Amino acid sequence: MDGMCLMCGLEDKSIYHALFKCGGVKEIWDLWKECPTVIGAKNMDFSYLAFKLLDVGTPRDMELLVVIAWAIWHNRNLRVFEAINQRAEQVWNHAVSMLSDYKEAVKFCMLGPSDCEVSWKKPQVEVFKINTDGAIANEGRGSSIGVVIRDSRGEAVAALCRVLPGCFLMDEIEALTVKAGILLARELDLHQVIVESDSLSIVQRILAKDFSGGLGHIVHGILGWPISLNVMI
Ligand SMILES: [Zn+2]
């Protein structure tokens, strides 16, 4: 079994098998409706596909190829090492939203310094704004979460900073940070709150009430409290 695919156990493990043949990946590639070439044709390896797309596709096609392949590989690791199962649509959406997040960030970085100043806006009277941010660390160090709650005058009414033991994915830590902010607001008995996170994918997931996968229970907990959500990069 040593040389067999860890996910399906049916074929030898290889990059070609993992990206194009292993169970479920075809459904992910099939979601790429505008793909200008055939994906997964016999013996077509990744570099051949990349050259083919350089020939017949657009730069956007090349970006999609790379980001979808990465998302498939990431999904495979989640499944094999963390027993997390994602549907084809989730893998696809993750890839596409990661690409759009990246493009937004690049656009943002290309603005002049004065345009880059993010203007934090005060909430309305009697409304509190919760700003959250999480960070993951490698090499066995803990991940950390940070929360600040401000009132309509812009003054901080509470803050929280915590190091969480263990390894988390970026989305997990961002979701946990949003949840920690909401719990802090609950402890303070604040009812009208706006949560502002810099994680577009988490905000989208909460707004879509997407309870699937390992983050489902966190999203469920977040939605147990009436909140407004913003993204602030
Ligand atoms: Zn397989």
Strands of the sheet containing 156-164, edge to edge, are 156-164, 143-150, 128-135, 193-197, 228-231
Asked if 66 and 143 sit in the same domain, the reply is no
Element (DSSP H or E) covering residue 130? strand 128-135
Last residue of a domain, one of 81, 113, 145: 113
Q: Cα(125)–Cα(153) distance, rounded to whole angstroms?
A: 8
Q: Residue 230 pLDDT more than 70?
A: no
pLDDT the model gives residue 231: 59
Asked if 55 and 103 sit in the same domain, the reply is yes
Q: Residue 233 pLDDT more than 50?
A: no
Residue 166 alpha carbon to ligand 1 centre in Å? 29
Residue 11 alpha carbon to ligand 1 centre in Å? 6
pLDDT the model gives residue 71: 94
Asked if 135 and 197 sit in the same domain, the reply is yes
Q: What is the mean pLDDT of the chain?
A: 84
Q: Residue 46 pLDDT more than 90?
A: no
Residue 72 alpha carbon to ligand 1 centre in Å? 12
Q: Residue 97 pLDDT more than 90?
A: no
Asked if 103 and 158 sit in the same domain, the reply is no
Mean pLDDT over residues 18-25, rounded? 89
Residue 14 alpha carbon to ligand 1 centre in Å? 9
Residue 110 alpha carbon to ligand 1 centre in Å? 41
Asked if 219 and 132 sit in the same domain, the reply is yes
Q: Residue 2 pLDDT more than 70?
A: no
Mean pLDDT over residues 150-157, rounded? 91
Structural domain including 175 reads 128-231
pLDDT the model gives residue 67: 93
pLDDT the model gives residue 75: 92
Q: How confident is the model at residue 141 (pLDDT cuts 50, 70, 90)?
A: low
Q: Cα(208)–Cα(214) distance, rounded to whole angstroms?
A: 16
Tens-digit pLDDT profile for residues 179-197: 999 889 988 988 888 888 8
204 in Cβ contact with 97 (< 8 Å): yes
pLDDT the model gives residue 73: 93
pLDDT the model gives residue 44: 76
| Number of folded domains that form the chain | 2
pLDDT above 70 covers a percentage of the chain that reads 89
Residue 50 alpha carbon to ligand 1 centre in Å? 22
Asked, for residue 8, whether it belongs to a domain, the answer is: no
Asked if 101 and 176 sit in the same domain, the reply is no
Residue 13 alpha carbon to ligand 1 centre in Å? 7
129: nearest Cα among 196, 219, 206: 196
165: nearest Cα among 176, 155, 154: 176
DSSP label at residue 125 = T
Q: Residue 205 pLDDT more than 90?
A: no
Q: Residue 107 pLDDT more than 80?
A: no
Residue 21 alpha carbon to ligand 1 centre in Å? 7
Asked if 143 and 226 sit in the same domain, the reply is yes
Residue 142 alpha carbon to ligand 1 centre in Å? 33
Asked if 58 and 133 sit in the same domain, the reply is no
Higher pLDDT, 108 or 200: 200
Residue 138 alpha carbon to ligand 1 centre in Å? 28
Q: Residue 125 pLDDT more than 50?
A: yes
Residue 140, domain CATH: 3.30.420.10
Asked, for residue 175, whether it belongs to a domain, the answer is: yes
Sign of CA dihedral 44, 46, 49, 55: negative
Q: Residue 204 pLDDT more than 50?
A: yes
Asked, for residue 210, whether it belongs to a domain, the answer is: yes
